[in-house]
Structure 1
Amino acid sequence: MKQTVIAIIGPTAVGKTNLSLEVAKQFDGEIISGDSMQVYKGMDIGTAKVTKEEMAGVPHHMIDIKEPWESFSVAEFQTRVKQHIENITARGKLPILVGGSGLYVQAALYDYNFADNKRNITVTRQLVQQMEEEGAAALYSRLKALDPIQAEKTHPNNARRVIRALEIYETTGITMTEWQKSQQLTSPYNVQLIGLEMDREILYNRINQRVDKMINQGLVEEVQSFYEKGYADKPAMQGIGYKELIPYFKHQRSIEESIDTLKQNSRRFAKRQYTWFRNKMEVNWYSLTPENASEKSRLILRDIAGFLKQK
């Protein structure tokens, strides 16, 4: 019999955290973070990490499990989440996966086989050397020519992901996009996918307000503490909310410009999240407005109750 999982997905700032807490309290659940950045210790403000007070006693998993200098792969995320789902189910609780990192959520819910795509260290080293000699832009241009869909989803400065996509092509002869399409899209779980969406203008205003709130909460100081420890080039610092402030500490950009860039990148990220979830998974979408949020929450809770009765 398949284990039951509720997944709550959607773009940044749409209201996933509040809904997940309501669902967990209503159905005796435990929350698994589906955010690729919340795994890092100390990166709290920039990842909009749920606070102890907000948790209100609801167990949360996949938060603060890595140091900022450590790498974290989708494959590791998948393995850990599978174990959490098993453990939560064994305790008689409901696993609730919550997040906006599309590939991570999809990998956790579906049978992606990462074992067939282990790293080829030789090819990786060759690509790193090529990047050092020719620059990151050259490799990104190559990725754009080979796999424009993957290039669209990858920031030009995210060297790790650019190299990984090219490495897959070098070692398998197929693009990252083709490889992802070939993955099994049947879930080993009895899963209900709840998607939250919002009018773009309203969402973008919420994103801008969230960034302003993060700044007031001390985001600049949080990023500065990691920058001063020499973590600027570490994987964790490539996340939105962190990489945009590095030029400020290098005296290459004003704080105002950095904050504007952060808002812009956050809005673009929200757009990419929508695209990913709409194209990749069968989602039950609920459109939220500031006025109907409570009503929609009640509707979602009723729908989940109906889903759980059918299992």
Structure 2
Amino acid sequence: MNILNRAIVIAGPTGVGKTKISVDLAKELNAEIISSDSAQVYKGLNIGTAKITNEEMQGIKHHLIDIVEPVSKYSVGNFEKDVNKILNQNPEKNFLLVGGTGLYLNSVTNGLSVLPEADKKTREYLTTLDNQVLLELALKYDREATEEIHPNNRIRLERVVEVFLLTGQKFSELSKKNIKNNNFKFLKIALERDRKNLYDRINKRVDIMFAQGLIEEVENLYKIYGEKLYKLNIIGYNEIIDYINGKISLDEANYRIKLNSRHYAKRQFTWFKTDKEYQWFNLDKILEQKIVKSIHTLFNIKA
């Protein structure tokens, strides 16, 4: 596939400050923004996901925000298809992919492996096998993949066997064959802050969420969607649901949201650091305007 077009990725941990820089950069480049956040696709989840407001958008068109109900299943595969449709239908436009969901971003910049969908009959057969037989089959069909799985993790073992039964090929091999469904080359930018400052920002943001009405937002959504909301497993929502159900105190919910958000930020940081294509900018050491100008220059140089 010929590389003809370019786009920019603005990534980084939660709370680092991606929103303002991306909007400022989009205005300079006359670009549109594609939200790359696995939680902001859901309608109604506004305060707890720190969803960008219309005022903050400053007239910049944003894609993939508020596109599905919380009861709908939205996966990395859905995201990859939706983004590539936007990119491929508008090759003349400048786009920024902005967010902290590394798996989602990776699906567009590097592609996804093509694995078969779950097969009902095969799954029913596999559930009849005891753990030892399932493990032996997995080792027989794909030792490399199986040796990375805990022997009691039936879900992953079943998937290894299922893929082989459906395709005759190993999961470990198929999962490494990524197919990229766009002809864009991506300038990858990641934002960071000194750890203490980032954690302070996260803590303050959580306090702001509470002041903005996070509890009321979750209560209203929980009345509509019930446990389906909990199953989304989104930080800020599960903790408040536990509070609503009397499992923890409000102070404990606040503490857990901050703690889980900090842990998530650390995992995001680790994810993006492993991809050596990212160019990093520290918002505690470089002024935002200089970062925007630097990214603009890099984009023009390599265009």
Deviation at 1:304, TM superposition (A): 2.4
Aligned match of 1:172 in 163, 176, 183? Answer: 163
Measured at CA, do residues 166 and 19 of structure 1 come closer, stay the same or move farther in structure 2, by a change above 3 Å? Answer: farther
* Alignment deviations for residues 203-247 of structure 1 (CA, whole Å, 9 cap, x no partner): 011111111111111111111111122432347641112112111
1:152 aligned partner = none
Measured at CA, do residues 190 and 246 of structure 1 come closer, stay the same or move farther in structure 2, by a change above 3 Å? Answer: same
1:119 aligned partner = 118
**Aligned-pair identity (%):** 36
Q: More helix by proportion, 1 or 2?
A: 1
Measured at CA, do residues 28 and 70 of structure 1 come closer, stay the same or move farther in structure 2, by a change above 3 Å? Answer: same
Measured at CA, do residues 127 and 171 of structure 1 come closer, stay the same or move farther in structure 2, by a change above 3 Å? Answer: closer
Question: In 1, Cα distance between the equivalents of 2:100 and 2:172?
Answer: 19
Measured at CA, do residues 93 and 183 of structure 1 come closer, stay the same or move farther in structure 2, by a change above 3 Å? Answer: closer
Deviation at 1:299, TM superposition (A): 2.3
- 8 Å contact 1:68–1:235 — kept in the other structure? no
Residue type of the alignment partner of 1:33 = S
1:153 aligned partner = none
Alignment root-mean-square deviation, CA = 3.1
Residue type of the alignment partner of 1:93 = K
Aligned match of 2:250 in 251, 255, 276? Answer: 255
- 8 Å contact 2:42–2:68 — kept in the other structure? yes
Name stretches of at least 5 consecutive residues in structure 1 with no aligned partner: 131-143, 149-161
- 8 Å contact 2:113–2:174 — kept in the other structure? no
Map 1:63-82 onto structure 2 (within 5 A): 63-82=65-84
Deviation at 1:166, TM superposition (A): 5.0
Deviation at 1:277, TM superposition (A): 1.4
* Alignment deviations for residues 26-82 of structure 1 (CA, whole Å, 9 cap, x no partner): 111000010011111111111111111111111110011101111101111100000
Measured at CA, do residues 292 and 48 of structure 1 come closer, stay the same or move farther in structure 2, by a change above 3 Å? Answer: same
1:20 aligned partner = 22
Question: In 2, Cα distance between the equivalents of 1:178 and 1:245?
Answer: 41
Corresponding position: 1:283 with 2:260: no
Measured at CA, do residues 193 and 237 of structure 1 come closer, stay the same or move farther in structure 2, by a change above 3 Å? Answer: same
Corresponding position: 1:268 with 2:259: no
Return 224-233 or 195-204, whichever deviates more. 224-233
Q: SS at 2:45's partner residue?
A: coil
Corresponding position: 1:218 with 2:213: yes
TM-score (norm 1): 0.80
Residue type of the alignment partner of 2:86 = H
Residue type of the alignment partner of 2:178 = Q
1:154 aligned partner = none
Name stretches of at least 5 consecutive residues in structure 2 with no aligned partner: 130-145
Structure of larger gyration radius: 2
